[in-house]
Amino acid sequence: MTSLLLSGGRVIDPANGLDLMADVLVVDGKIAAIGPDARAKLPPDNTPTELDVRGQVVCPGLIDLHVHLREPGQSAKETIAAGTKAAARGGFTSVVCMPNTTPAIDNAGQVALVREKAARDAIVNVYVTGAITKGIAGEELAPIGSLKSAGVVAITDDGHCVQSNELMRRALEYAKMFDLPIMDHCQDYALVTEGVMHEGYWSTVLGLRGWPAAGEDAIVARNILLAELTGAHVHCQHLGTAGSVRLLREAKQRGVPISGEACCHHFTLTDAAIAGSEKFWAADGKAIFGYHDGGYPRPSWPVYDTNFKMNPPLRSAADREAILEALADGTLEILASDHAPHCDFQKEVEFDYAPFGITGLENELALSLMQLYHTKRLSLPALIEKYTANPARLLRLKKGTLSVGADADITVLDPDREWVFERKDTASKSQNNPFYGWTLKGCATATIVGGKIVWRI
């Protein structure tokens, strides 16, 4: 019998409404007790491993429901082993991997392959999604029932978007039949065409093809209508426009079964970063975000840096503010990374030709704390809920809680710890990340999966 005692921390468990100073006792990989008397509930003659977590927060293990682990077929970019190490460093005990691999995860055999490899190589929990359509080609539905039987927790064509409204309707009907949420990458190809960055002032100045916000808004509106028609739940991934959150807010008020997520890069940066015109700085020891206004030196970021190229793209300052407001008022219920690794040589090309995507597992918690908690937009329990109880509820996972008897997946974090995000410290195989060199505030100090410490500062 193994036991672990986390003593003296602030325990926050949004799923159970807990926010108190207490000890947490883990026995044989399960939560055994929470409270000032937790030590007294140790089994006889059992000496626990003890972690002193005074001055830190103990919460349910964080869940990232939008991660690209790239296996099978793209292991030069990332592997399940490396990606889950990055997740552990970021404080995540569970990740949900996307199906746009090579080949796509569009049948039960591919699901079994990923699950078996995760059982061997992963140091955190890995949940698998299946594709909506065969080959993620948007033409023919994948076998949704057999994907469900194989163990997927959702279906998505992430990286692509089903353009046929009729096909998406049928996908929703089948998904409802099998009690699976659909997660959708909202992108109208006819509107976006060959766009590579947000359509606006900076795309014009830089001479890059614009990607209009309407290209996202149109599909969000489509999804709302189809969710209302079918009664199936649609989760809109990585939203980035003011129009999208306005549509989502109104639909949720009417009771439409729809939800949305935000990624840290979309509520931290804007399209001005591609022009080197945005600045992060620390003032009076406090983390502050701002924009170049003549009062601060210009940043050293190069123009056309492909590490700022992502899908959906960085949007305008007004869009960024709308995402922050939607997170604060609960319109956007979930935080995620869209961790999308690429090899250096793929990003070291002209902006037009570089692939979309950045890594994010190791820095998303810090950026979320800085933009939402330290700016007083969200309380700490409310922020943690967006990484724990809310994604667990959406995907029907038995995670995201510190209930007695639950799996002992635990994140210990220090919301005030300052650190520099260095390229040399990353666990991911890829380093396509625009935040290297930033001084961040807040981080995970220990990650515990099934009662086992898998990472610790």
Question: Which helix (H) or strand (E) is 327 found in, with range?
Answer: helix 317-329
- Per-residue confidence (pLDDT) for residue 300, from 0 to 100: 55
| Cα–Cα nearest to 79, from 126, 111, 135 | 126
Task: Write the DSSP symbol of residue 155.
Answer: B
Instruction: Express each pLDDT in 92-115 by its tens digit.
Output: 999 999 999 999 999 999 999 999
What pLDDT is attached to residue 284?
Answer: 36
Map residue 206 onto helix, strand or coil: helix
User: Residues 453, 398, 145, CA angle at the centre, nearest 5°?
Assistant: 125
pLDDT, position 191: 98
Phi, psi (deg, nearest 5) at residue 33: -165, 150
The model's pLDDT over 356-403, given as tens digits with 9 standing for 90+, comes to 999 999 999 999 999 999 999 999 999 999 999 999 999 999 999 999
Q: Round to whole Å and give the CA distance between 126 and 113.
A: 12
Q: Sketch the domain layout of the chain as residue ranges.
A: 60-405+413-443
pLDDT score recorded for residue 104: 98
Residue with tokens 């006792």: 25
* Strand-pair partners of 441: 418
Using a 10 angstrom Cβ sphere, with 0-12 exposed, 13-18 middle and 19 or more buried, the burial of residue 447 is buried
pLDDT at 302: 72
Please give the average pLDDT of every successive group of 10 residues along the chain, which has 457 residues: 94 98 97 93 88 97 98 97 98 98 98 98 98 97 97 97 98 97 97 97 94 98 98 98 98 98 95 75 39 41 89 95 97 98 97 98 96 95 98 98 98 96 95 92 97 97
Q: Measure CA 134 to chain center.
A: 25
Q: Which amino acid is at 28?
A: D
State the pLDDT at residue 295. 39
Determine the residue type at 19.
D
The whole-number pLDDT of residue 44 equals 84
- Cβ contact 70:99 at 8 Å: no
Report d(CA 190, CA 187) in Å as an integer: 9
Instruction: Verify whether residue 338 is a known catalytic residue.
Output: yes
Q: Which of 338, 407, 409, 414 is catalytic?
A: 338
The CA distance from 52 to 55, in Å, is 9
pTM of the model: 0.94
Closest by alpha carbon to 70, among 118, 112, 142?
118
CA 215-321-62 angle, 5° bins: 90
328-to-35, 205, 348, 401 alpha-carbon distances in Å:
30, 32, 37, 22
Helix runs in 68-143, H state only:
80-90, 108-121
Q: Superfamily assignment of 60-405+413-443 in CATH?
A: Metal-dependent hydrolases (3.20.20.140)
